[in-house]
Amino acid sequence: MTSPHGGLPSRLAPRHAAPQAAGPVRFDPATDPRRPLRLELAGLRHQVVGVTGCIIAGVDGLLILHDSRSAGEPHDVAAMAAAAHGISRTCGGALAQGEFQEVTIRNRQGCLAVYGIGDLALLAVVGDGTVNIARLHLEARPVLARLATMLDVTQL
Amino acid sequence: MANIETALKEAMTLEGAIGVALVDYTSGLTLGYLGGDGVMDMTVAAAGNTDVVRAKMRALELLGLQDGIEDILITLDSQYHLIRLLRARRGGDALFLYLALNKSRANLGLARHQLRKIEAELDV
């Protein structure tokens, strides 16, 4: 089953209304409890040229937070990130290679990188064709460490 | 024709060589590297210098120069960093050789000449 607007079926966002245009997210900085998380995502997007969106999702595929300016619907990206994580974790288990760390899907005109934040959350980064993947991996490492700490203490 | 391993080993025999890497600058990922031990992480250097190569290419594009980059030399206080782009290969791979040299021990002219030879013989 696909949604009337294309893309993956989403459990969280039944799209009976017109799909929301993906645009810059505006929140009141004074009252937004997730602001540190948003700043981390925005920081990563600014650090690495070609990153079009960052998403934090649960391993169940539900969206936690997004900083997406790409055309992709964040709920769909969250679901795809969880799917990518699922197959990667299965591989890791079958090959006795330990816990999931990171998976990158490279397409001709872009890429999707999914990193594990602890055991329960994922960071998905969408990039266009110009993204420096090695640089992205390097820049993502400290961000992941900070996000892991924040997700433990931040009331979501 | 030399494979990647042979080319990297040959580059490491240059006087004053600290580390060498073969890098794909579409992704910034290394195809192989040697050395760097204790001085620098060659994979980090590869990712960082991918941005250097891209910036120079963008500069040429803005200038409207119909020309290609042969090599890029970066001189530090104590090191030389030499970036040599591989001529266009089949499959559209965009690669460069990255060589870090100890400034006090290396002969820059010789190193550049040798790196050109290594690049010419490298078959990826």
Q: Is A47 on the interface with B (CB under 8 A)?
A: no
Picking from A110, A108, A90, the residue whose alpha carbon sits closest to that of residue A99 is A90
The confidence score (pLDDT) of residue A24 equals 58
Contact assignment for A132 to B30 by CB distance below 8 Å: no
Rounded Cα gap, residues B25 and B98, in angstroms: 11
In A36-120, DSSP assigns E strands to: 51-58, 63-66, 102-107, 110-117
Residues in chain B: 124
Interface test with A, best of B22, B23, B27, B33 (most A CBs within 10 A): B27
Interface test with B, best of A51, A125, A132 (most B CBs within 10 A): A132
The confidence score (pLDDT) of residue A31 equals 74
Rounded Cα gap, residues B82 and B109, in angstroms: 11
CA distances from A84 to A25, A78, A102 (A): 26, 10, 10
Question: Residue ranges per domain, chain B?
Answer: 4-121
Render pLDDT for B21-43 as a digit per residue (tens, 0 to 9): 999 998 899 999 999 999 999 99
The confidence score (pLDDT) of residue B48 equals 94
Task: For this complex, say whether ipTM is above 0.95.
Answer: no
Rounded Cα gap, residues B116 and A30, in angstroms: 58
Q: Is A132 on the interface with B (CB under 8 A)?
A: yes
Q: Is A138 on the interface with B (CB under 8 A)?
A: yes
CA distances from A145 to A42, A122, A139, B44 (A): 16, 12, 11, 18
The confidence score (pLDDT) of residue B56 equals 95
Judging contacts by C-beta atoms under 8 Å, the chain A residues touching residue B29 are: 133-134
Residues of chain A with pLDDT under 70: 1-29, 70-71, 153-156
CATH 3.40.50.300 fits B4-121, yes or no: no
CA distance B23 to chain A (A): 10
Interface test with A, best of B23, B26, B41, B42 (most A CBs within 10 A): B26
Q: Is A108 on the interface with B (CB under 8 A)?
A: no
Render pLDDT for B57-76 as a digit per residue (tens, 0 to 9): 999 999 999 888 999 999 99
DSSP for B7-67 reads HHHHHHTSTTEEEEEEEETTTTEEEEEEE-TTT--HHHHHHHHHHHHHHHHHHHHHHT---
CA distances from A87 to A12, A75, A83, B11, B25 (A): 22, 19, 6, 40, 28
Picking from A110, A114, A136, A132, the residue whose alpha carbon sits closest to that of residue A123 is A114
CA angle A70-A24-A109, nearest 5°?
A: 15
Pair B9, B34: CB distance under 8 Å: yes
Complete domains list, chain A, with CATH: 35-153 (3.30.450.30)
